[in-house]
Structure 1
Amino acid sequence: MLSQVAEGENQVHFRMHQFLARENEKPDAMLYVQEGWACRYRLLSDGRRQITALYLPGDYCDPQWALGGVASQPVVAITNVRALRLPCRIPSHAGFDGHNGFWQALSGMIERQANWLVTLGRKTALERVAHLLLELFERMRQAGLAYGQQCAMPLTQMEIADMTGLTPVHVNRTLQSMRARGLVELQSKWLRIPELQALREVAALTGQDMAA
């Protein structure tokens, strides 16, 4: 994806819980995530949080910065993050091979958000959590970071709740049910999915969901 960006001088590191961008900032660069996880979110007036995007290795954070120039929502590191700074004058920057990486990232983000609108509006708690875990596994696999049927999964139950619009208690019960049914295994910040097809059926996924 990236061919002409010098890693040394453009590489940046963020500690867990450090802001990659604050709300209404005007970032002078996008970030290409090489290692670690981050999230974009919106806070309500009473402190409730909705996570609106997750950034995993191989993701651009955030393609919208190149189009609007402003971080409309804050982005914070879930784990320690290592990333490359890329100038926001996209899509003409020479560091992008044919600009395909940028447009694919933007298209994928839009498609995932459309899928999550359906998930949050119509799916049950079980379907929501199953959808999230499958999406994360597939994205990690595409990044070459899944090993067999397992991958890193550093999200806490609170973060899963903030992503799925559930309470932490509801997430806990849902995960217990999924474990009891043999659908997932979660241990030491790792996710294992014994039977992918079984979890896809539980998540009520369509072909379009996983295409994103």
Structure 2
Amino acid sequence: MSPTTDRFVPPLIRRLRSTATLSETVVEAIRTLPVSLRSYEPGQEILRDGERPACCLAVVDGWVSRLKFLPGGGRQIIAFHIAGDLPDLQSLHLGVLDHGIAALTPCTVARIPHEALRELSARLPELAAVLWRESMIDAALFRGWLTANGRRSAYGRTAHLLCELSLRQRAVGLSTGRTCPMPLRQTDFADAMGLTSVHIARTLGALRKAGLITLQARTLTIHDWDGLCEAAEFDPAYLHLKSVDR
């Protein structure tokens, strides 16, 4: 494999295998995809709302967000993405991007030409099915966020997001036990959950005082998984992971 392929393929395969069974034929086909890599700094735009991208993105390392900017200058984060995720797979079929994508941390992103993905999917229906499944899981994540943000308290929705991000990282080998990276700023949490930074600080403090978590040095440690799940009313079914704690 080329150096680019060496970096691009492993996280993507780990992500796809966390939700589906991949044949070696599909894995080898993914290795043949022509990709280019680009690095971004925190806050840097990767794609803008309204763009007509010719490539799909795959996160190689770091964190990115999908977001909408409001006319008054505010923003709503609609998803967080980690290594292996395909944050704009829908652009393969929808010509105009209806949201932006930006770096949350220093990150590397692979660009996969739409034409190459379409050709490979046409030749390999199994790959097409895997990509379709990823799109459906992406929609399930949106439903999970909508329910959490619309009907849970600040305490519950914060606990829910921490449960989700912990499990998603665990599924692709980015966590150790119940400790995982958590590079989000209070403003990131706030813009994802429709709360103020002050409210987020108080809520995280309450979770800490309850003995459920510690969040420091950009690292999350969950001390009481069952307690955190209870606070979140967390059911991981919407993540559609092959192996999760239930």
Q: Say yes or no: TM over 0.5.
A: yes
Alpha-carbon separation, structure 2, partners of 1:54 and 1:101: 21
Name whichever structure is richer in helix by fraction: 2
Gaps of 5+ in 1: none
2:64 to 28, 38, 42: 38
Compute the displacement of 1:127 (Å): 0.6
Alpha-carbon separation, structure 2, partners of 1:198 and 1:18: 36
Alpha-carbon separation, structure 1, partners of 2:40 and 2:128: 26
The residue identity in structure 2 corresponding to 1:195 is D
Compute the displacement of 1:153 (Å): 0.7
Compute the displacement of 1:60 (Å): 0.3
In the other structure, the counterpart of 1:65 is 91
- The question of whether the paired residues in 2 share the 8 Å contact of 1:66 and 1:90 is answered with no
Compute the displacement of 1:11 (Å): 1.8
In the other structure, the counterpart of 2:222 is 193
Alpha-carbon separation, structure 2, partners of 1:195 and 1:31: 35
Distance 1:25 1:192, change over 3 A: same
Question: Which stretches of structure 1, 4 residues or longer, exceed 6 Å deviation after superposition?
Answer: none
Distance 1:148 1:168, change over 3 A: same
Q: Percent identity?
A: 32
Alpha-carbon separation, structure 2, partners of 1:162 and 1:40: 11
> How high is the TM-score relative to the length of structure 2?
0.79
Alpha-carbon separation, structure 2, partners of 1:173 and 1:128: 13
Compute the displacement of 1:100 (Å): 4.4
3-state SS of paired residue (2:120): coil
In the other structure, the counterpart of 1:109 is 138
In the other structure, the counterpart of 1:18 is 44
Name the larger-Rg structure. 2
Distance 1:116 1:183, change over 3 A: same
Compute the displacement of 1:175 (Å): 0.4
Gaps of 5+ in 2: 1-12, 14-29, 242-246
In the other structure, the counterpart of 2:31 is 3
Matches within 5 A, 1:131-150: 131-150=160-179
Alpha-carbon separation, structure 2, partners of 1:104 and 1:197: 29
Question: Aligned-residue CA RMSD in angstroms?
Answer: 1.9
Compute the displacement of 1:43 (Å): 1.8
Alpha-carbon separation, structure 2, partners of 1:6 and 1:204: 42
Alignment length, in residue pairs? 210
The residue identity in structure 1 corresponding to 2:220 is L
- The question of whether the paired residues in 2 share the 8 Å contact of 1:87 and 1:93 is answered with no
3-state SS of paired residue (2:173): coil
> How high is the TM-score relative to the length of structure 1?
0.91
Distance 1:163 1:37, change over 3 A: same
Alpha-carbon separation, structure 2, partners of 1:204 and 1:76: 30
Alpha-carbon separation, structure 2, partners of 1:129 and 1:73: 23
